[in-house]
Each structure stands twice: as structure tokens, then as C-alpha cells.
Amino acid sequence: MERHGRRRRGASAPRGSGRRGRARWRGTDGDMGARRRSDLLIATRARPDDMGRPTRKTNGPSCASPSRPTCSAIKSGNPNSIPKPRRRRRSTKPLGFITSAHITKPRVSRALLLARESRGGSRMIRRNQRMRREYLYTKSLEGAERALFEKKRRIRQALEEGKPIPTELRNEEHELRRQIDLEDQERQVSRSFVDNEYATSTIREPKILLTTSRDPSAPLIQFVKELKVVFPNSQRINRGGQVLSDIVESCRSHDVTDLILVHEHRGQPDGLVISHLPQGPTAYFGLLNVVTRHDIKDRKAMGKMSEAYPHLVLDNFSTKIGERTATILKHLFPVPKPDSKRIITFANRDDYISFRHHVYEKPGGPKSIDLKEVGPRFEMRLYKLKLGTMEQNEAPFEFELRPYISTAKKQRTLGA
């Protein structure tokens, strides 16, 4: 017999004292052990899976494995609460269905794609920089070439009239006469820098892109739609969130000759920017007194707007800046046919350019002309002329309006 007070190592004493309490405690321990062993047998009994095959017997439960019964399910003694093993998904497609499209190809890393794009972008940037340097170098030589042409003209005139050579040109007479003898008829005509900017104007027709400032109002959108009909071979796009430099690069890649940007202030169009591509120039105009066809109530009296190539009337552009402005404006339109009955007028009055759009008919013969204005109409004033494209902020200015100086009212920039 065990002595009173002696216990097994690791066992806790039950409530009560004496041999009856200890016997009752030992019997309870034995019953609990038998009950746990029976629950383990139930839990590890072979159960068929979904395919009708018996599952593998396990030696005991594991709380870490989700496919095996948990400790709480074993303690409860309910076999229905024991989770079923996970079912593996099997493909029902035959092997012949797999093609090369199902084979995963090696993916190109994002860094490699960015490197390729940056390589192509840097190549385009270097090309634009080279063209820009050539543009500025040719422009810098224009003054020297003009002075040399004037010297040749004076020597040629003196030889034709039989007069003596001017005194200031006698030291350069021999070299200048040698150059005159080598020139042909094309070289005898003075060529300005404008001829290089618009060298392809006689080969291909202009291709114009129209856009607006961001978040345009309804009147501005209507005005740009009418400008699209005014300029032949033009295309209008919504500005959206596009950056100006991206628009210019897209125009260069698609061989667009001119980019026109229209601004507004409180729903009224007040600015027009014309940029010639690929290297300029860019003219900035202010708009005043804009009247669109949409604003006129009696539209039936105006008639439909013709889309034929128009004849141009450029009036009073006599100064150097005036000729430059007239060159920019006239190269927005292709060469018309002789029988075209559409006329567009740019008339300069006190440096304000009036734009008018007319269509004429001859109802009673060649001497009777019926002129009808079809709109839109507006006034323009040149306030800036830049030797570069629209996004080139570092480009120099050929002309800049200064209205606040004392002699501004007396000056006539575009014509007399």
C-alpha cells in the first residue's frame, strides 16, 4: 500500500482527503484516458474520399495540418465536425488541347523596356538638337549673306551702266567679280532664311493640327470647329491632359507642318498661336471682336461654308515684320484652283489684322459679282514672334510688342 500523503510525480491532488479520494481520482484518470483513445480511433478511421478511394490512416492528430482533424474536433468526439481533406483540382482538358499560346514566354523586365524607350527617345532628342543647331547657324549667316549679295549687286550694276567701281569695294573687286562670273540665274536672286523654313511648301500641301487650351468652354470648341473648316487639310483634337511638348513631338513624327493653339478668357477666344514645324517660327496673336457663325441667328442667309481651297488677299504688309507675318499666314493655305469662288482676306490697319471670309457668285455674267460673307470674323494683333517652336522657351524672339513705351502709338510694325 502507498503511504498516506505520497503522490505520483506530475499529478495534482484532488479535493478531499483519504484513500477514497485518491481512488476516485485514479479511476477518473483511467476513464478519461480510455475515452480519449476511443476518440482517436474514430478520428483516424479510414474514410473514403470524393473519388471513392480510402484515405491513408494517420497515427494521430496534428493541429498544424488543415487536412487533419483539429484538437477541438477530437476533444468534442463528434466525427461530423472533423474537416474533410483538401481536394486537389485536376484539369479536365486533354493534353492535345495545349498549344504554344499556353506556354509562358520569358517576360522582358520593365527596366529593359524603359531602357529601350529611353534609347529611342534620346535618339529623337539628339536629332532635334542637331536640327535646332543647324537652324540657328543658318539664321546667323543670313546677315552676312545679305551683305555679300548687296556688294555683288552694286558691282554688277556699275559694270552694266559703265560707271566706276565704288571706292569702298575696290579692294574686294577681283574676288567679287570672280564669284559673279561663276553664278547662275538662280544664285543671282537673293534667298532669305524664310526660303529654308518653307522650302517644302511648293512640294506638299500644308497639314495643320488644331487644338485648344485645357478645359475648353462650349464657345471655344465651336470656334475651333469653324476654324477647322477655314483651314483646309486641318485636323482638330481634344487637348485633354496632354502636355504641349508631347503634342509637338507627335506632330513632328506625323509630318504636321503647322500647329495652331487657341486660348480663351471667360468663354471668349482671346489668343491664337501659330507654330510652324519642325523648327519654327511661332507667331502669337491676340484675338478681338470674335463673331462666329454660331452667334448669327440668320444662318440660312449666309449659306453653307465652302471647303474649296481659297484665294488669299494680304493687304498692307509692307515692313520686314509684316512680310514675315504674311509669309506665316499664307503658308497655312494650299494653292487654290483658278475657278475657286472662296476668298479669305487678311487686311492690316494700324497693326490690327482683320480676318474676313467671303464667297462670291456671278449671277448676271462676268461683270456682276455677288459677294457674301460666310464667317467667322475676328481681329488679330501680333504681339510676339519667336524663332522656334511653341515648347522651346529658350528660343530667341524676332519681334516682341512693347505697347507701354512713349513712341508706341507712332510705330507701325506690320505696314504703313
Q: What is the pLDDT along the chain (416 residues), one digit of tens a residue?
A: 445 555 555 555 555 545 554 444 444 444 555 555 555 444 445 444 444 445 554 444 444 444 455 555 555 555 555 555 565 555 444 433 333 333 334 444 555 545 555 555 566 677 777 777 777 777 777 778 878 888 888 888 888 888 888 888 888 888 888 888 877 665 666 555 555 678 778 888 999 999 999 999 999 999 999 999 999 999 999 999 999 999 998 998 899 999 999 999 999 999 999 999 988 899 999 999 999 988 877 777 777 788 899 999 999 999 989 999 999 999 999 999 999 999 999 999 999 999 999 999 888 887 888 888 888 999 999 999 998 899 988 888 999 998 887 777 788 889 87
In angstroms, rounded to a whole number, what is the distance separating the alpha carbons of residues 97 and 119? Answer: 41
Pair 236, 260: CB distance under 8 Å: no
**Residue given cell 555679300 in the structure block:** 148
* Structure confidence at residue 82 (pLDDT): 55
In angstroms, rounded to a whole number, what is the distance separating the alpha carbons of residues 53 and 59? Answer: 19
Nearest to 352 by CA among 412, 292, 283, 310: 412
Pair 209, 239: CB distance under 8 Å: no
In angstroms, rounded to a whole number, what is the distance separating the alpha carbons of residues 250 and 245? Answer: 9
- DSSP assignment of 377-408 equals EEEEEEEEEESS-TT-TTSPEEEE--TTSTTT
In angstroms, rounded to a whole number, what is the distance separating the alpha carbons of residues 285 and 414? Answer: 13
In angstroms, rounded to a whole number, what is the distance separating the alpha carbons of residues 140 and 156? Answer: 26
Q: Could you tell me where the beta strands, DSSP code E, fall in 100-228?
A: 208-212
Fold assignment, 208-400: Rossmann fold (3.40.50)
> What is the CB neighbour count within 10 angstroms for residue 11?
11
**Residue given cell 552694266 in the structure block:** 160
* Structure confidence at residue 105 (pLDDT): 40
CA distances from 315 to 285, 353, 379, 409, 415 (A): 17, 9, 14, 21, 9
* Structure confidence at residue 112 (pLDDT): 54
Q: What single-letter amino acid sits at 414? A: L
CA distances from 306 to 230, 309, 355 (A): 9, 9, 16
Pair 370, 341: CB distance under 8 Å: no
Q: Could you tell me where the beta strands, DSSP code E, fall in 157-291?
A: 208-212, 234-236, 258-265, 268-276, 282-291
Phi and psi for 310 in degrees, rounded to 5?
Answer: -90, 155
* Structure confidence at residue 18 (pLDDT): 52
Cα distance from N-terminal residue to C-terminal residue, the chain: 138
Q: In the chain, what are the domain boundaries?
A: 19-47+58-81, 115-191, 208-400
Q: How far is CA 290 from the centre of its chain?
A: 29
Q: CA angle, 353 as apex, 349 and 358 as ends, to 5°?
A: 105
